[in-house]
């Protein structure tokens, strides 16, 4: 094959994303790299590969006037192309990018302060829009951060500063999706990790420079950043970005954008596919043709068989091919992707016995009521290995046996920022008789006889709602701070599946003995709801206030969340 | 965009909001305090965007994503929406 305009094979000689962007700019600089679709009738904004390269380098030179390579910069942006310029500006300067979710106006305490304390950034990058409409964001953070306002649409002068050439081992970004609010953990993702995972993705998705993608997942989320910004650049494809709020308000606009841009690739957590079905109205679908979509990645939260079936049935009349549904599994510690399907195969489901799952096996169902349909998350992608390991004995387990999912490959990130103990425990695991270093994902699952990966649960009590990870300790602390009558360290937060199978938050919390008389329980419940909605953006499904000393704890005093969940499910809690 | 309603009162908007919230949050409409903040009622940020979308559909107005934060209770939001109706009538844009 000749290296033509649309040549988009592997990029083996690259050392960094900076070289990748320069190569894209040199090969087809005038082609549109990014499009942002604003809400309402405002005109869309665009960046070509050459514009992005030029503006990123101009910004890099500016940044190096106040910071040095290896310094950190937090990125606080509203949806738009400024983030993209800022991100590549950091990389071109050798400055480590730290994408952050802008804190909500009303949140008293959120994770961003702890992240800033953890990574000690020199710079904070933002846009004129944030400065004008959200001055509280700038107010909130240390005044000693140097703020830089990024304009995506203007070509700045390039000051005469020599830019560094990052190598494969240099850290490109810190991804802070792991760790609780009080103890955030920044995953150190190197240029080599990124390039390795994008090549794995390219082979798995078989996407090319013609494979336009459309997405609305926030760019501070690993799936948004990798699937909507960097992987399209890796293959030289156009990426069309929408604001997350635009999708939440008008989910079908996502499908309309796929149709308008003849997009081939999109990705979203499972809830998004459900939301499209819930909000489906034929009159809003006029003219939409989804036949261009060949990869609809479904990842970042448990993938559900009925979601896939309902989405495919609802949108088949609009050209959506059921075999485009692409369940996948990954995590920030693996850069993004661990496993994914074969393009064009669609989702694989398997009926397993609920009873055997509880015993750690994926046996065939014996009785009708015992069957549970689970979705396969594809095979481990080429270039990576996965193993199912007993989390206690650290021995590998045979097929159809549930254990912890471990992964190994050049995509596995370097560790957690300045946290050698957590890095050692999570990133440096060993299997007896195997020379490789393994990542412990903390997720539970099994491989079938053909090597298909099924994810069945989590070792930790992590709660995942709408693709966002929540740590129960954080939510429990918020609950206990909501009212003086609530006992410290005597509450449990956990997720339960509602009748649709969607994960919902349930809180069990003890009342202080001294406060039991004359309590307005409705008032306490309202305060808890308010605090949890404000601090964690979750609507609580149920709050059970219980009598003192009735919450199950271990003999060492640890809250037994799974047991509390079981008591709640069976209606056996001693409610106050 | 649907036609802008021109015949509703502030009480109608409050009733609509209470009906919507009752459905979304599985509460009885009579139990929703018009002065309580949406977050106190347990509305999270995603749910507040669904509220804005439904209110747009019902009212025919074009609304910003953050109005549920700017006008964070049933009574505040109803007052704001009525103000917007008055503006659109004043400008004759509702035809």
Closest in A39, A40, A530 to B37, CB measured: A530
CB B78 within 8 A of CB B17: yes
Chain A residues bordering chain B (beta-carbon distance below 8 Å): 39-40, 104-106, 245-246, 248-250, 466, 526-527, 529-530, 532-534, 537-540
- Whether B52 and A249 lie within 8 Å, measured CB to CB: yes
Task: Provide the angle, in degrees to the nearest 10, between the axes of the packed helices B10-25 and B45-59.
Answer: 140
Q: Which strand (E) or helix (H) includes residue A245?
A: helix A244-249
Parallel/antiparallel/unpaired status of strands A72-76 and A96-100: parallel
CATH for A463-569, among 3.40.50.300, 3.40.50.2300, 3.30.300.30, 3.10.580.10? Answer: 3.30.300.30
Query: Could you give the strand order of the β-sheet that contains A384-389, starting from the edge strand earlier in sequence?
Result: A384-389, A403-409, A439-447, A453-458
Q: Which tens digits make up the pLDDT trace of A418-477?
A: 999 999 999 999 998 888 999 999 999 999 999 999 998 888 788 888 888 788 888 998
Q: A102: distance to nearest CA of chain B, Å? A: 13
The pLDDT of residue A349:
96
The CATH code belonging to domain B10-89 is 1.10.1200.10
Give contacts of A101 with chain B, Cβ < 8 Å: none
Rounded to a whole number, what is the largest CA-CA distance in chain B?
38
Kindly tell me the burial class for residue A530, based on how many C-beta atoms sit within 10 Å of its own C-beta (0-12, 13-18, 19 or more).
buried
Rounded alpha-carbon distances, angstroms, from residue A229 to A33, A215, A362, B71: 9, 10, 37, 35
Mention every residue, 6+ apart, whose C-beta is less than 8 A from residue A2.
Answer: none
CB A174 within 8 A of CB A316: no
Mutation target for B interface from A249, A272, A281, A524: give the one with most B CBs within 10 A: A249
Rounded alpha-carbon distances, angstroms, from residue A98 to A86, A93, A115, A411, A468: 11, 14, 9, 19, 17
Gap between the Cα atoms of A254 and A242, Å rounded: 8
Least Cα distance to B60 among B18, B95, B29, B34 occurs for B95
Gap between the Cα atoms of A483 and A327, Å rounded: 42
The pLDDT of residue B1:
47
> What's the CATH fold of domain A336-458?
Luciferase; domain 3 (2.30.38)
Chain B residues bordering chain A (beta-carbon distance below 8 Å): 25, 36-47, 49-50, 52-53, 56, 62, 65, 69
**Does B18 score more than 70 pLDDT?**
yes
CB B20 within 8 A of CB B36: no
**Does B25 score more than 50 pLDDT?**
yes
Record the tokens describing residue A555, joined without a space: 């003999």
Rounded to a whole number, what is the largest CA-CA distance in chain A?
81
Record the tokens describing residue A115, joined without a space: 């992240």
Interface predicted TM-score of the whole assembly (ipTM), two decimals: 0.73
- Provide the residue ranges of all domains of chain A, joining segments of one domain with +: 336-458, 463-569
* 3-state DSSP assignment of residue A443: strand
Mutation target for B interface from A101, A103, A479, A533: give the one with most B CBs within 10 A: A533
Gap between the Cα atoms of A204 and A92, Å rounded: 28
| Sign of the dihedral through C-alpha B76, A136, A219, A210 | positive
DSSP A149-207: E--SSS-----S-PPP---TTSEEEEEEEEE-SSSEEEEEEEHHHHHHHHHHHHHHH--
**Closest chain A CA to residue B55:** A249
Rounded alpha-carbon distances, angstroms, from residue A249 to A149, A192, A326, B59: 29, 38, 24, 15
Least Cα distance to A134 among A95, A67, A61, A79 occurs for A79
- Whether B39 and A530 lie within 8 Å, measured CB to CB: yes
Q: Which tens digits make up the pLDDT trace of A233-269?
A: 999 999 999 999 999 999 999 999 999 999 999 999 9
| Residue spans of chain A under pLDDT 50 | 1-7
Record the tokens describing residue A299, joined without a space: 């990842």
If pLDDT is split at 50, 70 and 90, which confidence band does B91 have? low
Mention every residue, 6+ apart, whose C-beta is less than 8 A from residue A455.
Answer: A302, A303, A329, A377, A405, A443, A444, A445
- Whether A249 and B25 lie within 8 Å, measured CB to CB: no
Q: A521: distance to nearest CA of chain B, Å? A: 14
**Closest chain A CA to residue B25:** A539
Gap between the Cα atoms of A312 and A177, Å rounded: 30
Rounded alpha-carbon distances, angstroms, from residue A447 to A345, A444, B33: 18, 11, 52
């Amino acid at each position: 094959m000749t290296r033509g305009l649309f040549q988009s094979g592997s990029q083996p000689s690259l050392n960094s994303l900076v070289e990748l962007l320069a190569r894209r700019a040199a090969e087809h600089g005038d082609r549109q790299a990014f499009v942002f679709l604003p809400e309402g009738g405002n005109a869309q904004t665009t960046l070509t590969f050459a514009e992005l390269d030029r503006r990123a380098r101009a910004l890099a030179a500016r940044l190096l006037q106040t910071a040095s390579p290896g310094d950190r910069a937090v990125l606080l942006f509203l949806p738009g192309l400024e983030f993209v310029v800022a991100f590549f500006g950091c990389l071109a300067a050798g400055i480590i990018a730290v994408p952050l979710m802008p804190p909500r106006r009303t949140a008293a305490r959120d994770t961003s302060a702890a992240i800033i304390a953890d990574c000690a950034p020199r710079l904070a990058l933002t846009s004129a829009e944030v400065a004008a409409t959200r001055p509280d964001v700038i107010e909130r953070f240390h005044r000693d951060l140097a703020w830089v306002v990024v304009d995506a649409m203007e070509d700045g002068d390039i000051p005469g500063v020599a830019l560094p050439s990052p190598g494969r081992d240099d850290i490109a970004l810190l991804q802070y999706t792991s760790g609780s609010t009080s103890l955030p953990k920044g995953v150190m993702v190197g240029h080599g990790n990124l390039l390795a995972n994008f090549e794995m993705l390219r082979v798995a998705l078989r996407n090319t420079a013609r494979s336009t993608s459309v997405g609305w997942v926030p760019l501070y989320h690993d799936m948004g950043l990798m699937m909507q910004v960097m992987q399209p650049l890796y293959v030289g494809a156009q990426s069309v970005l929408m604001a997350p709020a635009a999708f939440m308000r008008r989910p079908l606009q996502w499908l309309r954008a796929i149709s308008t841009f003849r997009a081939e690739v999109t990705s979203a957590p499972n809830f998004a596919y459900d939301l499209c079905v819930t909000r489906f109205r034929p009159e809003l679908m006029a003219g939409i043709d989804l036949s261009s979509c060949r990869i609809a990645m479904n990842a970042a939260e448990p993938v559900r068989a009925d979601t896939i079936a309902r989405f495919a049935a609802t949108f088949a009349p609009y050209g959506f091919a059921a075999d485009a549904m692409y369940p996948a599994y990954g995590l920030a510690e693996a850069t993004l992707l661990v496993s994914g399907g074969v393009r064009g195969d669609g989702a694989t489901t398997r009926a397993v016995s609920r009873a055997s799952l509880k015993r750690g096996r994926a046996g065939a169902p014996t009785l009708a009521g015992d069957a549970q349909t689970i979705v396969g998350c594809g095979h481990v992608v080429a270039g990576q290995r996965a193993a199912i390991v007993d989390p206690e004995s650290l021995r590998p387990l045979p097929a159809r046996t549930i254990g912890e999912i471990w992964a190994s490959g050049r995509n596995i990130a370097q560790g957690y920022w300045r946290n050698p103990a957590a890095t050692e425990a999570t990133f440096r695991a060993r299997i007896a008789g195997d020379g490789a270093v393994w990542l412990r994902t903390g997720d539970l699952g099994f491989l079938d006889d053909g090597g298909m990966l099924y994810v069945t649960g989590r070792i930790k009590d992590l709660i995942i709602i709408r693709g966002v990870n929540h740590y129960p300790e954080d939510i429990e602390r918020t609950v206990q701070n909501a009212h003086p009558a609530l006992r410290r360290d005597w509450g449990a937060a956990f997720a339960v599946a509602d009748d649709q199978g969607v994960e919902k938050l349930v809180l069990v919390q003890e009342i202080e003995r001294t406060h039991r008389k004359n309590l307005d329980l409705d008032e306490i419940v309202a305060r808890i709801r308010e605090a949890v909605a404000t601090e964690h953006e979750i609507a609580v499904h149920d709050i059970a206030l219980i009598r003192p000393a009735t919450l199950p704890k271990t003999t060492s005093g640890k809250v037994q969340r799974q047991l509390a969940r079981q008591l709640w499910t069976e209606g056996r809690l001693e409610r106050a | 965009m649907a036609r802008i309603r021109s015949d509703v009162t502030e009480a109608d908007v409050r009733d609509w909001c209470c009906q919507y919230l009752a459905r979304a949050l599985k509460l009885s409409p009579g139990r929703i305090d018009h002065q309580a903040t949406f977050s106190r009622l347990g509305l999270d940020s995603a749910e507040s965007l669904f509220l804005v979308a439904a209110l747009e559909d019902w009212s025919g107005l074009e609304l910003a994503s953050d109005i549920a934060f700017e006008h964070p209770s049933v009574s505040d939001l109803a007052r704001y929406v009525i103000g917007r109706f008055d503006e659109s009538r004043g400008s004759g844009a509702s035809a």
